[in-house]
Chain A
Amino acid sequence: MTISVAMTVNGKAVSGKVEARTLLVQFLREHLGMTGTHVGCDTSQCGACVVDVDGKSVKSCTMLAVQAEGAKVITIEGLAESADKLHPMQEAFRENHALQCGFCTPGMVMSAIDMVKRHNYQLDEATVRRELEGNLCRCTGYHNIVKAILAAAPAMKSAGV
């Protein structure tokens, strides 16, 4: 049995027919072809699938697609204003070499943006490290991710995002 679901993803109205068990991340990847959001585990711990749902940071492998009915979803594909103008967090990741294989990166960037906002653009290293508890990276050793987030916080504030 399939269920109709409709939501807004990156500002665009989308809809589809899903199984009741279809996860939000499956809907994004398999139904919409938006493969920027990744799946790195099956226990909701790696954080590669983090997206923003109605202003809240969500692991999209932990939410059913039908639960996002009517929601506004933002994914990694929806962050940059244009190819030339990245979100300050994306820019900070590039400037600080905060990614290597790129697989954890979408979730890492989404979590980082949420973290900066929740802390009102004011972060220190210990807070960033603690807050990254839900995002695993095997390549970078976190060193440059932490640097990038600390650099992005003031940049986001001055950019008003």
Chain B
Amino acid sequence: MTAETGIGARVKRKEDQRFLTGTGRYVDDLPLARATYAYFLRSPHAHAKIKSIDVSAAKSMPGVVEIFTGKDIADAKVGGLICGWVVKDKHGEPHKAPPHPVMALDTVRYVGDTVAMVVAGSHDEAKDAAEAIHVDYDVKPANVDLARAFDKGVPEVHAAEAPGNLIYDWEIGVKADVEAAFAKAAHVTRMDIVNNRLIPNAMEPRAAAAEYDKGTGNYTLWSTSQNPHVLRLILSAFVLGIPEHKLRVIAPDVGGGFGSKIFCYNEETMVCWAASRVGRPIKWTAERAESFMTDAHGRDHVTHAELALDKDHKFLALKVETIANMGAYLSTFSTAVPTYLYATLLAGQYTTPVIYANVKAALTHTAPVDAYRGAGRPEATFVIESIVSKAAAELKVDPAELRRKNFIPSDAFPYQTPVALQYDSGNYPPIIDEAIKIADYKGFESRRAEAKSRGKLRGIGFSSYIEACGLGPSRVIGQLGGGVGQWESAQIKFNPTGNVQVLTGAHSHGQSHETTFAQLVSDKLGIPIETVEVIHGDTATTPFGMGSYGSRSLAVGGSAIMKAADKIIAKGKKIAAHLMEASVADVVFENGNFKVAGTDKTVPLGAAVFAAYVPHNYPLEELEPGMDENAFYDPSNFVYPAGTQICEVEIDPDTGVVEVVNHTAVDDFGNIINPMIVEGQVHGGIVQGVGQALLENAVYDKETGQLLSGSYMDYTMPRADDVPSFKLGNTVTPCPHNPLGVKGCGEAGAIAAPAAVMNAVHDALAPLGVTHVPMPATPLTVWQLIQSAPRAAAG
């Protein structure tokens, strides 16, 4: 059975049947008897004082059950939302932590800030009533220009708690060493980079539903969460005070997350809190416009970077200054993203001996910014891979050769970087070699010439990324200020009839855990994959776990499953030894059977399981009945997948349209459990990266703070005809410290792609003398650059 369904097989997904037949069960699909519906009235202003709120007219609207405002929340002493990662600034002081009320009390700080909650008999009734609420605002000037957020006179978002809009001024590396290296440099490449602001846009909008059982005092919250246990922990310990054992959080089928569903949000908090007050279940589903306004956004950095090289083109030092946007409130993990998930990655795949990074986190009157697919690592990769390609262009050397010359040598692992991380394993030259082969890099110049004959500008770009994922060693996370452990849990529960439930603390919202984890268990225990059911997403049934983000589910959660499986085998051996009247030491486990070496004695795993549940012939004196084992796995290091992407674009100089004509990705994810699923993750990641490079941009009006890109008519999502089919390859350097030898694959595509695309765009426009193209390279931007270029496109 294992050849077709075991580790390494392209097993078709178990979850597909329900999703393909319309029988998936997402939060909004839940039938809840006597349900009411919530609608949130939101601030239309980026910054204003609330002078008064009049709900009297709204209260008498049809169907209205209850209306809550910030005052009700304050009176009920509901806690504020928390930021769960304490970053210490360069003086060792913890970051500024302004309050984050679940509902605005007297000030609104971004367009979309929550002002009132209407609960009514239907969504439409609640929305109608919200329109009848009269809020008297005193509109204040807003601060939405990140680059100027610290300037004198700029409106302060939280004047008392974070003067000057500064959350922290943080650094890593030794500045003096970097300055000394720059003094000796033969060449310095400098770059100013804006990492554009993105809106995650999981296709399922955020949603929450809650029910309060008066009899038991228990709450049930259904939420579109990537980590239901963590959400429960935050709500219980910090926000609502409902004891953890009285709050059940269920994250059923969840339609994509990409980071945006990690965090604890206002709306789910309010829905849960209000359920007991209303006495009926409450449902809320965001309209897409609300998702645009209030889902935590991603990226949004302004950076200056400098790379020093010696005369042989070896990198001597890297210096990076970044301002990172936090938005108006600190979201759950916002502070960690531009520090420990960003600056610690600035070594990339290279031996750059000294690196210094300074990161200043800024408050602005915009939606909170937090982790979005890759979280910090795409920003780091974009800095490194852009400046390396720029250096290659300035020095007129091949960008692949410059990279190769500076790669960490294959025999240098484990490799200690100057920015804290120790890469466990890696082998970078074969990756770029394979990418060059697949992309036919050698044939590029003839393709460029052919494109030119059609009047098109063709360019090629490289991006060689490294990421640290599989969060993570809890001890390290704790030392860096993280407020939680980062292990994962698993439980393998055999039923008496021999089938298996695998419960995981990870959560699948597209990642295919129900299939991949079943493959692991089927392979390891030698049982048919059809008999393995993976269960996730319910705090009442699954062991406490940390959820899914940061490409951690397989490396950490899969490792926990393997540990639990080892316990099953160990117990099974004892049972089998008893049944076969043999010594445990002589029992081996092969393909689902316990055997005594050198004899024909065999006990199938199923028979051992049955004996464990019907222990009539069983060593009860030494062994507990039952076959149900759990395990927790805390990794000893992050995992470090790496890869190279090569993008080829063609630009139409008459329209400025950039077409991605070829895109190659070669990754080293260590061992691969299901190549089909891994490839799917890479495809999706690449398109999010292409989206950032060419299409997507969250834009706030600099004067009013209005979100201008607040719908699919204004925010350009990548569509099928914006991208080609991709060419993928892989190499394998197993992770040396987890039992599966696996590394994470969920974010790689999005991490590497923006730099590959933009380097290709720069390469295409270089003959015109264009030296800098900002993201997103929209037709208008590119066309304007061509119009003002030193040299004409037509040759």
Q: Which residues of A contact B (CB under 8 A)?
A: 19, 21, 29, 33-43, 45-46, 48, 75-77, 79-80, 83, 86, 90, 93-95, 97, 99-106, 109, 125-126, 128-130, 132-133, 135-147
Contacts and interface: CB of A to CB of B under 8 A. Distances in A.
Contacts of A79: 21
A141 B22 contact: no
B26 interface: yes
Given A100-B684, A102-B16, 6 more contacts: A76-B20, A102-B20, A103-B26, A132-B719, A135-B720, A142-B718
B723 to A, nearest CB: 6
Nearest to A109: B20
B549 to A, nearest CB: 14
A62 B322 CA distance: 44
B289 interface: yes
A95 B12 CA distance: 7
9 contacts: A35-B29, A40-B203, A43-B712, A45-B713, A90-B21, A94-B16, A132-B720, A138-B201, A138-B684
Interface secondary structure of A, over-half rule: loop
A132 B721 CA distance: 8
A102 B29 contact: no
B683 A102 contact: no
Contacts of B253: 101-102
Q: Which of A90, A95, A126 has the most CB of B within 10 A?
A: A90
A138 B720 contact: no
Contacts of A42: 287-289, 711
A138 B256 contact: yes
B772 interface: no
Interface in B498-522: 509-512
Nearest to B713: A43
B720 A142 contact: yes
Interface stretch (B109-117, B572-580, B644-652, B685-693): B685-693
Contacts of B712: 41, 43, 45-46, 136
A144 B16 contact: no
B31 to A, nearest CB: 6
A104 B711 contact: no
A93 B16 contact: yes
Contacts of B287: 42
B22 A37 contact: yes
A97 B713 CA distance: 29
B441 interface: no
Contact of B256 (A86, A100, A125, A141): A100
B286 to A, nearest CB: 10
A67 to B, nearest CB: 18
Nearest to A105: B19
B719 A46 contact: no
B590 interface: no
Interface string B746-762: 00010000000000000
B202 interface: yes
Given A138-B203, A138-B256, A145 B509 contact: no
Nearest to B721: A129
A138 B681 CA distance: 11
Contacts of A129: 720-721
Q: Which of B12, B28, B684 has the most CB of A within 10 A?
A: B684
B21 A80 contact: yes
B737 interface: no
Contacts of A142: 683, 687, 718-720, 723
B260 to A, nearest CB: 10
Contacts of B23: 36, 77
Contacts of B288: 40-43, 46
B255 interface: yes
A133 B22 contact: no
Contacts of B725: 125, 143, 146-147
A88 B720 CA distance: 21
B22 A101 contact: no
B258 A138 contact: yes
Contacts of A46: 203, 288, 712
Contacts of A147: 725
Nearest to B515: A97
B20 A101 contact: no
A21 B749 CA distance: 42
B256 A139 contact: yes
A86 to B, nearest CB: 6
Given A93-B20, A101-B254, A146-B725, A139 B510 contact: yes
B22 A136 contact: no
A45 B719 CA distance: 11
B20 A94 contact: yes
Contacts of B512: 100
B721 A102 contact: no
Q: Which of A79, A101, A103 has the most CB of B within 10 A?
A: A101
A146 B726 CA distance: 12
B205 A43 contact: no
Interface string B672-706: 00001101100111111000000000000000000
B21 A143 contact: no
A43 B712 CA distance: 7
Interface in B1-47: 12-13, 15-26, 28-29, 31
A139 B25 CA distance: 18
B391 interface: no
Interface in B269-313: 285, 287-289
A34 B29 CA distance: 9
Interface in B179-207: 201-205
B22 A77 contact: yes
Contacts of A97: 12-13, 676-677, 679-680
B124 interface: yes
Nearest to B24: A102
B13 A103 contact: no
A75 B22 CA distance: 8
